[in-house]
Amino acid sequence: MNEISRRAGPSLTAPDLVMLDHLVTSLVETRRGIAAFQALEAQLLHAANTLAQERVDASRSDGDLPMRDVAAEIGAALRVSDRTVQRQLGQASILAERFPRTLDALTTGRISRAHVHVIVDAGHRITDDEVRARFETAVLTVAEQESPSRLKGYARLTAERLLPRTLQERHQDATAGRRVDVSDLDDAMSQLTLVAASTLIHGIHDRLTHQARTVTTTDPDDPRTLDHLRADLLCDLALSGTPTAHEPAQLLGTITAEIHVTVPALTLASTSSHPTTRDGVLDAAQLDPAMLDGVQPVDTATALQLVGASPGWDRALTHPITGAVLAVDRYRPSADLRRYLRAIDQRCRFPGCMMPTRRCDLDHIHDAARGGPTNADNLTDKCRRHHVLKHHTTWTTRKQPDGTITWTSPTGRHYPDRTPPHVAFTTDTDPPPF
C-alpha cells in the first residue's frame, strides 16, 4: 500500500508568507492595471478606425486609402506592420461596438485580454445585437471565475446554442475563408496550410495515401515512410501538375515557381566541409546560411544545388563579412538592376512590411516623369499596397547614402527603413578581397 510520507519537507517561513502575500496582491493589482490599459488601447484604436472609416469611399476601388493611411501612420509609430495594425483596428471596433459589456469588464480588470479573445472568437458569429448581449452576460459570469482555456468550451457551446443558422448555412459562409498559408519553421523547413472543405481535405489525404502505397508496392526498397511519400507526392503535384478544372489550363500548367535565395560568397565557395579563407580553416558551422526571401535560412546543400541549377533561380552573392551584395547572376542591364535591388532590399521598403521583393514593384523615389533617374540609387522595392500609399496619399520617401529609406507621414513624423541587417563575423584583419 502506498503511503504519503508525513515527514515535513522544506517549507516557506512566516516572513516568506508575508512577502508572498504582498507579491500576490501587487500582481493582481498590476494585472488589473494592464487590463485597464489594454481596454484603453482598444478604445484608442477604435477611435482611429472610426476616424478613417468616416473618410472611406466604398464606391471607389481605392476607397479604403484613408484606412491604409491611418494604419501606416500607427504601424510606423509603433514599429509593427501596418497590415497588423489594420487588423487590430478592425478587431478593436468589433470589441467596442459589438461586445461593450466585455470591453467594460476588461476596463475594470474583471477579465483579461485572453478572456476577451475567447469571448469575441466564440461570439462574433452572432449577428443579432440582443442575442449577442445575452451571450455576453452568460459567458462573462464564467469568465470572471475561470481561466481563458476553461472558458473556451463553454463560450463555444453557448454561442452554438444561440446561433439561429443551420450548419449548411454556416458552412457556406465558412468556405469564403478557404486559403493556403505558409509559415516558416526551424532548420530550413516551412509549413504549408490548406484550409478547405473537410471532404476535399480528407479526399486529398486519401488519394496521396493510395499513391504512396502504390510507390512502396512498386519499389519495396524505397526507404521513405508513408508520411514522407505523401509529402513528396504533394510537392511534386503542386510544383509540376497541370490543373484540369481551371482555365486557361494549358497556360496555368506552364507557370513555374519562382523563389529568391541569397547565397553568401563564402558559403558558395565551401564545396567541402573544410572551407578555407586566406586566414586559414573556417568552421563550416560559422558560415552564414543562404537565405530565402531574406527571412528563411536554407541549408547549404540545397543552396549549392540551386546555384548550379536551372535558370529559374535568382543568384545573389554576398560579401562574407559585410553582407553587401557582390554580384547578381546573368547580366542583362534592366533585369540585372532589378535583381541587384531585390538582393539588397529583400522585402518591401515600408517600415515593418515583409512582402518579398519578387512580389514588389520597383518604384522611382524621384519620379521618372520629373527627371528621376532609373538607377540603383533612385529605385526601391515597394509592395503594391505601399506603392499605392506613396503615390496616392501624402506619404513621401527619401533615400540616404547608406541605403536607409526615410518615410515622412501625413502628420510629419519620420520613419526610417534600414536595409536588412546582416550577421557579420568580427575580424581583426581586412575583409577578404572579393
Taking the complex as a whole, the smallest distance from the CB of residue 52 to Zn ion amounts, in Å, to 18
Strand partners, 317: 263, 327
Q: What minimum distance in Å lies between the beta carbon of 119 and Zn ion?
A: 33
Query: Which of residues 122 and 383 has its CB atom nearest to Zn ion in the complex?
Result: 383
Query: Is the Cβ of residue 83 or residue 115 nearer to Zn ion in the bound state?
Result: 83
# residues contacting Zn ion (CB under 5 A): 6
Q: How far is the CB of 39 from Zn ion (least distance, A)?
A: 31
Spatial distance between the Cα atoms of 386 and 401, rounded to a whole number of angstroms: 22
Contact 320, 303 (CB under 8 A): no
**How near is the Cβ of 133 to Zn ion at its closest, in Å?**
40
- For Zn ion, the closer of residues 22 and 87 by Cβ is 87
Query: Of the two residues 102 and 357, which places its CB atom closer to Zn ion in the complex?
Result: 357
Contact 326, 265 (CB under 8 A): yes
User: E strands of 69-209, at which residues?
Assistant: 179-184, 190-195
Q: Which run of H or E residues covers position 325?
A: strand 325-328
Smallest separation, CB 350 to Zn ion (Å): 4
Q: What is the smallest separation between the CB atom of 123 and Zn ion, expressed in angstroms?
A: 33
Q: Which stretch binds Zn ion (CB under 5 A): 143-151, 310-318, 340-348, 410-418?
A: 340-348
Contact between 18 and 95 (Cβ < 8 Å): no
Rounded to 5 degrees, φ, ψ at 433 are: -80, 70
In the complex, the smallest distance separating the C-beta of residue 415 from Zn ion, rounded to whole angstroms, is 13
How many other CB atoms are there within 10 angstroms of residue 236's CB atom? 11
Cβ(114)–Cβ(152) under 8 Å?
no
What is the nearest approach in angstroms of Zn ion to the Cβ of residue 55? 22
Nearer to Zn ion (CB atom), residue 324 or residue 388: 388
Q: Which of 83, 260, 338, 386 binds Zn ion (CB under 5 A)?
A: 386
Nearer to Zn ion, 103 or 348 (CB): 348
Could you tell me the smallest distance in angstroms from the CB atom of residue 315 to Zn ion? 24
- Do residues 318 and 265 lie in contact, with contact meaning Cβ atoms separated by under 8 Å? yes
350 binds Zn ion (CB under 5 A): yes
Q: 151 vs 353, which CB is nearer to Zn ion?
A: 353
Closest-CA residue to 410 (of 385, 429, 392): 392
Instruction: In whole angstroms, give the CA distance from residue 343 to residue 378.
Output: 15
> With binding defined as CB under 5 A, does residue 83 bind Zn ion?
no
Report how far residue 379's alpha carbon sits from residue 403's, in angstroms, rounded to the nearest whole number: 11
Q: Is 397 helix (H, G, I), strand (E, B) or coil?
A: strand
Residues in contact with 434: Cβ distance below 8 Å, sequence separation at least 6, in sequence order: 265, 319, 320, 326
Measured CA to CA, the distance from residue 97 to residue 45 in angstroms comes to 12
> Is residue 355 involved in binding Zn ion (CB under 5 A)?
yes
Range in contact with Zn ion (rule: CB under 5 A) among 68-76, 238-246, 355-363, 416-424? 355-363
**Cβ proximity to Zn ion, 66 vs 100, nearer residue:** 66
Which neighbouring-strand residues pair with 262? Answer: 291, 316
Cβ proximity to Zn ion, 99 vs 407, nearer residue: 407
Q: Cell 500582481, residue?
A: 27
**Among 353, 362, 379, 389, interactor with Zn ion by CB under 5 A:** 353
335, 342 in Cβ contact below 8 A? no
348 binds Zn ion (CB under 5 A): yes
For residue 399, report the phi and psi dihedrals to the nearest 5 degrees.
-105, 130
Shortest Å distance, C-beta 387 to Zn ion: 8
Would you count residue 85 as binding Zn ion (CB under 5 A)?
A: no
Site string for Zn ion, 300-329 (x = CB under 5 A): ------------------------------
Beta bridge partners of 296: 292
Distance (Å, whole) CA 48 – CA 265? 47
Instruction: Identify which range of 17-25, 113-121, 183-191, 341-349 contacts Zn ion by CB under 5 A.
Output: 341-349
Write out the residues near Zn ion by the rule CB under 5 A. Answer: 348, 350, 353, 355, 383, 386
